[in-house]
């Protein structure tokens, strides 16, 4: 996941604001309790003087213990002073949004990404993903289906999609093809997969077939905002909705879509495709090469939704 400039700035500002607010609270405490300011100044003086003294000390360990004891005595006096005046010591320290990373986004000398930053990046990806906000497996409602047979098929489809979203694979296949007429819930399941994959920490990108074709044609013309087949291999999960609604350009549409699917298969990446077309129409419109890729049990698991439209 990429850390954008806006998120980096957000963390920088949050940390600066927490520190500034703590400084303001401490200055207010100093104004009310002048002795507190003097105690902190004494502590700094002891710490600064310790370094030069250690260089010439015959017993550095004893000198260090003496300084630590003096600071501990001052800390105890400051604690009593704050308690007597009803001031909680923790209010004088910065109140960071995340105490683990102290609003830096990273933990430890190895700068391991903090869980708070990972969650923030996932929210950013989700917000820009184009997923329907209500699309999640937890909101799947089996009671909306008009008959028992359609309900059972849809529940099974939901189970397969949920299992796929966990590992970006089902029955050994890295691809998933959702087929069925309009209004049977394909886009909802597609978005549920994307939302769950994001929550799992996977990188996800979603396009309609129309937008995918448009972006890749731009890339061929080297215009800004274009996309290459190699670029499509970057996200761990690619979602392609509404295959079959894109404009047909002879000798172009098929090659563009085939190169996108082929590039991802070669990279071992997961791809989910949703289409209103049946197998016969897919074969007629896209030819044997692409059809055999997206219907091969080794490469794609296929879910066929049937029943009455829910729209």
Residues 82 and 146 placed together within one structural domain of the fold: no
Residue 88 CB partners (closer than 8 Å, separation 6+): 82
Residues 135 and 103 placed together within one structural domain of the fold: no
Residues 100 and 133 placed together within one structural domain of the fold: no
Residue 281 banded pLDDT, cuts 50, 70, 90? very high
Choice between 221 and 100, residue whose per-residue pLDDT is larger: 100
Residues 106 and 153 placed together within one structural domain of the fold: no
Residues 203 and 250 placed together within one structural domain of the fold: yes
Residues 103 and 175 placed together within one structural domain of the fold: no
pTM for the complete prediction?
Answer: 0.62
The answer to the question of residue 216 being in a domain is: yes
Residues 11 and 78 placed together within one structural domain of the fold: yes
The answer to the question of residue 182 being in a domain is: yes
The answer to the question of residue 271 being in a domain is: yes
The CATH number of residue 231's host domain is 3.40.50.300
What pLDDT, on the 0 to 100 scale, is given for residue 54? 81
Q: What would the pLDDT profile of 109-121 be if each residue is shown by its tens digit?
A: 989 989 888 778 7
Q: What would the pLDDT profile of 107-156 be if each residue is shown by its tens digit?
A: 999 899 898 887 787 666 655 556 676 778 988 888 888 889 999 999 99
Give the chain's domain count.
2
For residues 237 and 194, the answer to whether their CB atoms sit within 8 Å is yes
The answer to the question of residue 156 being in a domain is: yes
Strand partners, 166: none
Sheet of 237-243: strands edge to edge? Answer: 204-208, 237-243, 270-275, 175-180, 300-305
What pLDDT, on the 0 to 100 scale, is given for residue 166? 93
Domain of 9 in residue numbering reads as: 5-114
Residues 292 and 145 placed together within one structural domain of the fold: yes
Tell me which H or E stretch contains 264: helix 253-266
What is the DSSP secondary structure assignment for residue 141, as one 8-state letter? Answer: -
Domain closes at, from 114, 143, 170: 114
Residues 288 and 174 placed together within one structural domain of the fold: yes
Mean of pLDDT values over 71-90:
92
DSSP secondary structure, 63-101, as one string: HHHHHHHHHHHHHHHHHHHHHHTT--GGGGS---S-TTT
Strand partners, 208: 241
* Chain-centre distance for alpha carbon 68: 44
Mean of pLDDT values over 3-19:
91
Domain closes at, from 87, 114, 141: 114
Token reading at 56 = 């010439």
What pLDDT, on the 0 to 100 scale, is given for residue 51? 82
Residues 109 and 47 placed together within one structural domain of the fold: yes
The answer to the question of residue 225 being in a domain is: yes
Residues 103 and 136 placed together within one structural domain of the fold: no
CA pair distance 309, 311, nearest whole angstrom: 6
CA pair distance 210, 253, nearest whole angstrom: 10
- Chain mean pLDDT for the chain: 88
The answer to the question of residue 121 being in a domain is: no
Phi, psi (rounded to 5 degrees) for 103: 60, 30
Domain closes at, from 83, 114, 145: 114
The answer to the question of residue 21 being in a domain is: yes
What pLDDT, on the 0 to 100 scale, is given for residue 205? 85
The answer to the question of residue 120 being in a domain is: no
179 exposure class (CB count in 10 Å sphere: 0-12, 13-18, 19+):
buried
Residues 270 and 222 placed together within one structural domain of the fold: yes
């Amino acid at each position: 996941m990429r850390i954008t400039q806006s998120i980096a700035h957000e963390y920088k500002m949050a940390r600066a604001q927490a520190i500034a607010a703590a400084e303001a609270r401490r200055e207010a405490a100093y104004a009310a309790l002048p002795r507190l300011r003097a105690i902190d100044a004494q502590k700094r003086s002891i710490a600064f003087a310790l370094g030069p003294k250690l260089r010439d000390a015959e017993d550095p360990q004893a000198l260090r213990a003496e300084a630590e004891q003096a600071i501990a005595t001052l800390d105890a006096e400051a604690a009593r002073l704050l308690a007597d005046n009803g001031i909680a010591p923790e209010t004088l320290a910065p109140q960071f949004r995340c105490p683990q990373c102290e609003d830096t986004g990273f933990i430890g000398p190895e700068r391991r990404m903090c869980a708070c930053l990972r969650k923030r990046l996932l929210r950013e990806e989700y917000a820009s993903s184009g997923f329907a906000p209500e699309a999640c497996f937890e909101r799947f409602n089996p009671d909306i289906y008009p008959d028992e047979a359609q309900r059972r098929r849809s529940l099974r489809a939901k189970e397969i999609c949920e299992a796929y979203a966990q590992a970006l694979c089902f029955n050994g296949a890295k691809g998933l093809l959702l087929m069925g007429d309009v209004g049977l819930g394909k886009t909802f399941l597609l978005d549920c997969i994307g939302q769950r994959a994001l929550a799992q920490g996977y990188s996800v990108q979603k396009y309609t077939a129309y937008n995918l074709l448009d972006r890749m044609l731009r890339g061929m013309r080297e215009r800004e905002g274009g996309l290459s087949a190699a670029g499509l291999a970057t996200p761990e999960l690619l979602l392609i909705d509404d295959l079959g609604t894109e404009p047909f350009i002879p000798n172009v549409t098929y090659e563009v879509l085939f190169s996108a699917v082929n590039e991802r298969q070669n990279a071992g990446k997961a791809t989910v495709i949703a289409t209103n077309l049946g197998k016969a129409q897919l074969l007629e419109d896209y030819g044997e090469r692409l059809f055999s890729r997206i219907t091969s049990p080794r490469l794609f698991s296929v879910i066929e939704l049937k029943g009455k439209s829910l729209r």
